[in-house]
Structure 1
Amino acid sequence: MGGKFSNDSSSQNSSVNTNLGFNNSISFARSPMIGGGLGSGGGGEKATMQNLNDRLATYLEDVWSLENGNAELELRIRQFLENKTSPGSRDYSAFFVSVADLHNKIHGAMCVDGSIYLANHNAKLAADDFKTKRENEVSMRQSVEADFAGLKRLLDVLARSDLEMQIEGMKEELIFMKKKQEEAFRSSVEMDPGPTQDLNAVLSEIRKQYEQASAKNKKELDAWFQEKAATVKQEVAVSTETNLNHLLQSLQRELQSQLTIKGSIEGTLQETENQATSLEEQLVNLQGDIDRQGQEYQMLLDTKTRLEMEIAEYRRLLDDTGSSSSSST
């Protein structure tokens, strides 16, 4: 039976040409007599041959289907090989360059963020330092004002003591002058041999003149003392007030300077905080870009893996088809 099948197949001009390979296709030429009768053979042999012909037709249809699939696969493989030399040699250098650039940008942003944080920290330390200096200046100013108040009281006490000492000296001088005048009066009385009846009158006249002179001297001394005391008080008050005004103006200028420096530092601190906020936003955006690039890169890797799996599957199918065709031949 097998010999008759072989002869009938050759007499029906059925030809099967199989050329299997990675870049070749499978081609079959189907004879129009397949599925037809076998001539005038017996009924059982005719049914058997009809069954074999049907099976051969089914096999050839499968072969044609595989041939079409092989042609489509060959086209896809050719297109893929035209783009890349090999499935595993796809060039991802552009993505690596982008990732490296993003890493460099992140590193630069982190460095800038660190420098801004350091500048911000230094500005805060400087602001705290100036605040401490301002508090020390205010405390020093209060201490100086208290010292000046104490010195003013001390100057008043010293001026009063000086005036009291001058008054005591003038009183002693007045007493000395009185004694001197009395001695001179006694000498003149002893030396004057005038009549005794006019002695009381002379003494009364001398006493009267002495009292007038003493009152005049006392009045002049009081006036001089009052004038001197007023002058000293005025000089002390003017000097103290002038010094206090100078010190107050100096402290006010220093305070204004410190306030200006504080305002400048606060402005710099605010600007630094704004820059830090902007850089943080840029860093968040860069992180989002990196995540998106990573997702795209992962998608590309998944696509590459799927293509490699499909290529491996097509190769396996080609190998299986070639093996089946070889065994059938």
Structure 2
Amino acid sequence: MSMSMSSSGIRRSAASRVMATHDPLELCASTAVTNELKIVRTNEKEQLQGLNDRFVSFIEKVHSLEQHNRVLEAEVTLLRQRHNEPSRLHELYEQEIRELRARVEELTHDKSQMHVDCVQMNDALERSREKLEEEGRLREEADNALKGYRKDVDDATLARLELEKKVEALLDEINFLRKVHEEELQEMQASLQATQVSVEMDMAKPDLTAALKDIRSQYENLSARNQAQAEDWYRSKITTVSEAAARNQDAIKHTKEELTEYRRQVQARTLEIEALRGHNEALERQIGEMEDRHNQEIGELQDTIQQLEGALRSTKGEMSHHLREYQDLLNVKMALDIEIAAYRKLLEGEECRLSSVGSSAVQSGYSGFSYMSPRSYTLGAYRRSKPEEEEDEAEEEDEEEKEGEEEEGEEGEQGEEGGDDEEEGGDEGEEDEEEEQKDKKGKDKDDKQDKEKDKKKDSSKDSPKESSKDSSKDSSKESSKESSKDSASSKTSKN
């Protein structure tokens, strides 16, 4: 736009010089026009300088974005390397987990073996306890038998004492009978001596002494026989009691020996039971400690696995976030590249137009001036034919639509090449672009209809065509530049 206005300013300055040579009356008007042209040129220079500064800032921004893209690409490579490294770490942890699981299985097997040993020891302990109870029962039976034997000994002792008492009573009775017999003998002798009866008979006199001797001998034999019988009975009883006592002593001794042996066995079994109980408690305590330790190790390993999985998830999230940022930056870069290409095309087109129009502008100005009056030139330079202007604008809009469609096709191809990970966003962007294109086409149709109506209304008011072509072309080019800028800015905003 600035270049077109500068070219029109050149033509107008040349026309003003020619007007000054031909018509001095138009000097004031030409000076006013030149002042206006100077102001317009200064404004155009300022606008061009602002656009150049903006273009430089865009280039710097593009360089910075390219550098940032390189940094992001390096970060993405590092993240991919890190993403590959945790797989090896995962394999190492998996191997360690397998080893720990094998160790846990081995310890579980040892635990089951220890449990079997513990069950066997408990069975042996139960058998020892049953044997101890049996030995205790036998001991009680032996104690009961010993008590019976002691009772028998006491009974035998009592029987011996009773027999001794009976022997003493019999001896006393024998002595008493002996005394009674002696007294009777004495009494009989005294009575015989006192009675001196003499009986004369034909028979011989009986021998009393012999009878007494016989009686005495009979009683002595009877007492001796009774004493011997008593002594034999007493002796037999004493022998029986002694033999029973000896037998009881042997049984008591044997029972005492058995009781001592049983006590020794009970003490040994008790010590063995205590040792087995202590060993069992030690094994149970060891099993509990091993279970606690292995449970703790398993918990630590599970925590480590969860931490690694969390780190892996966070790394994947960061990686996806960086990829999204990278894709956004790529989209921004593509939009900036498209905008830069559009500016480059505009600048190249403007340079070509200036180079082609610059040489022909002066010639057309001089040749056109010879056929127009100064006043008609000045008026024609600033008057525009609306129908022709609208036709040029319609043509420019059609060209812009074609260029926009080509640029959108290029954007779609670039988006397909660089944005495989964001197909959904690309589809939405294409749908938005299609809707915007439809809106633009509808607006263009409405504008064309309005312009045709304006053409019909203003066809009678148009001025000569030759003087208005340059101005209409300049205005159409300016509008095309502005529309291209608007389209580029809209594309950047879409991207």
TM over 0.5: yes
Partner of 1:49: 48
Partner of 1:109: 107
Partner of 2:285: 274
Deviation at residue 197 of structure 1 after TM alignment: 0.9
Change (3 A) 1:73 1:218: same
Deviation at residue 135 of structure 1 after TM alignment: 2.9
Q: Is the 8 A contact 1:87 1:308 kept in 2?
A: no
Structure 2 residue aligned with 1:215, among 201, 220, 223?
223
Q: Is the 8 A contact 1:127 1:262 kept in 2?
A: yes
Q: Write the mapping of 1:12-161 to structure 2, written as runs, cut at 5 A.
A: 42-80=41-79, 83=81, 90-91=87-88, 92-150=90-148, 153=151
Change (3 A) 1:309 1:43: same
Q: Write the mapping of 1:227-306 to structure 2, written as runs, cut at 5 A.
A: 227-250=235-258, 251-306=262-317
Deviation at residue 95 of structure 1 after TM alignment: 1.1
Change (3 A) 1:204 1:323: same
Structure 2 residue aligned with 1:197, among 187, 202, 206?
206
Q: Is the 8 A contact 1:99 1:293 kept in 2?
A: no
Q: Distance in 2 between matches of 1:90 and 1:324?
A: 37
Deviation at residue 49 of structure 1 after TM alignment: 1.6
| % identical aligned pairs | 15
Q: Is the 8 A contact 2:2 2:47 kept in 1?
A: no
| Amino acid in structure 1 at the alignment position of 2:71 | E
Change (3 A) 1:127 1:4: farther
Deviation at residue 196 of structure 1 after TM alignment: 5.4
| Amino acid in structure 2 at the alignment position of 1:90 | S
Q: Distance in 2 between matches of 1:2 and 1:230?
A: 163
Alignment RMSD (CA, Å):
3.9
SS at match of 1:42: helix
| Amino acid in structure 1 at the alignment position of 2:236 | K
Change (3 A) 1:128 1:195: farther
Aligned residues: 264
Change (3 A) 1:249 1:69: farther
Q: Name whichever structure is richer in helix by fraction.
A: 2
Which stretch of structure 1 is more off in the superposition, 231-240 or 117-126?
Answer: 117-126
Deviation at residue 155 of structure 1 after TM alignment: 8.3
Deviation at residue 67 of structure 1 after TM alignment: 1.7
The gaps in structure 2 that reach 5 residues or longer are 6-38, 167-202, 342-495
Q: Distance in 2 between matches of 1:305 and 1:123?
A: 56
Partner of 1:323: 334
Q: Distance in 2 between matches of 1:155 and 1:204?
A: 49
Deviation at residue 303 of structure 1 after TM alignment: 4.2
Deviation at residue 42 of structure 1 after TM alignment: 1.0
The gaps in structure 1 that reach 5 residues or longer are 6-39, 168-193
Change (3 A) 1:195 1:3: farther
Deviation at residue 318 of structure 1 after TM alignment: 4.8
Deviation at residue 205 of structure 1 after TM alignment: 0.6
| Amino acid in structure 2 at the alignment position of 1:255 | V
Change (3 A) 1:75 1:195: farther
Deviation at residue 93 of structure 1 after TM alignment: 0.6
Change (3 A) 1:89 1:216: closer
Q: Deviations over 1:134-160 (max 9, x none)?
A: 234323321343245446656887996
Q: Deviations over 1:196-249 (max 9, x none)?
A: 511x32221122122223333333333333333233222212222322332343
Question: Taking structure 1 as the reference length, what is the TM-score of the superposition?
Answer: 0.65
Q: Distance in 2 between matches of 1:322 and 1:66?
A: 7
Q: Distance in 1 between matches of 2:312 and 2:102?
A: 23
Change (3 A) 1:2 1:299: farther
| Amino acid in structure 2 at the alignment position of 1:275 | Q
Q: Distance in 2 between matches of 1:87 and 1:97?
A: 17
Q: Is the 8 A contact 1:130 1:258 kept in 2?
A: yes
Partner of 1:309: 320
